[in-house]
Amino acid sequence: LSARVVQVLDGITLEVEVEGRIRRVRYLGVELPRQSALAETLNRQWTENQTVRLIADPAVPPGDEIALYYVLAGDRFINPALIREGAALPALYPPGIACIEVFLQEEARARAEGKGVWQDLLAHLPTPAVAVGLTPSACDCNRRYSCADFTTRREAQACFDTCGDYRNTTLDPDHNGLACEELP
């Protein structure tokens, strides 16, 4: 669909006019970190007063109040562009979205380059378990874990350190860098 951006509401939400109706559109597969000022700034710069293309994902049903779409402004694919700049993070829900692999690759690039949210987050992560002699975990960093997924604190800590804490906050609810302190 072709839509005219009426208003940028935040870093990942637009109000658009499409087919004569005003609709709210949220970027599919993208979520905001706590510090979202960069996302909003980039979203305004890339989409404000623009005509954008909205692309649906076949795995995601249309929303009534807020519709989830991939958004293109000119030749810029906004969803992964926000992730690439470290202004947004890949959302691992709903499962099975078509572009998740691209989004995770862009996250890895932003993380490796210390862009946006990664600039501060990487500076505050604890020393990785592999650096202190623990066995690297076999964690799937595209998944959210809970302490119930592990039998020992050592396993949970290795996974937490390998994947980072932003996606696995339930492993360290007090944010002290120690995962699943209640496990043996």
Domain boundaries, the chain: 2-121, 125-171
Read off φ and ψ for residue 180, nearest 5 degrees. Answer: 45, 55
CB 118 within 8 A of CB 166: no
Please tell me the distance from the alpha carbon of residue 5 to that of residue 25, in angstroms, as a whole number: 10
Q: What is the tens place of the pLDDT at every residue in 76-101?
A: 999 999 999 999 988 877 666 788 88
Q: What is the mean pLDDT of the chain?
A: 82
CATH number of the domain located at residue range(s) 2-121 in this protein: 2.40.50.90
8 A C-beta contact, residue 25 and residue 16 = yes
List of E strands, the chain? 2-8, 13-18, 21-27, 30-31, 51-55, 66-73, 76-77, 89-90
> Global pTM?
0.70
**66-73 and 21-27 as β-strands: parallel, antiparallel, unpaired?**
parallel
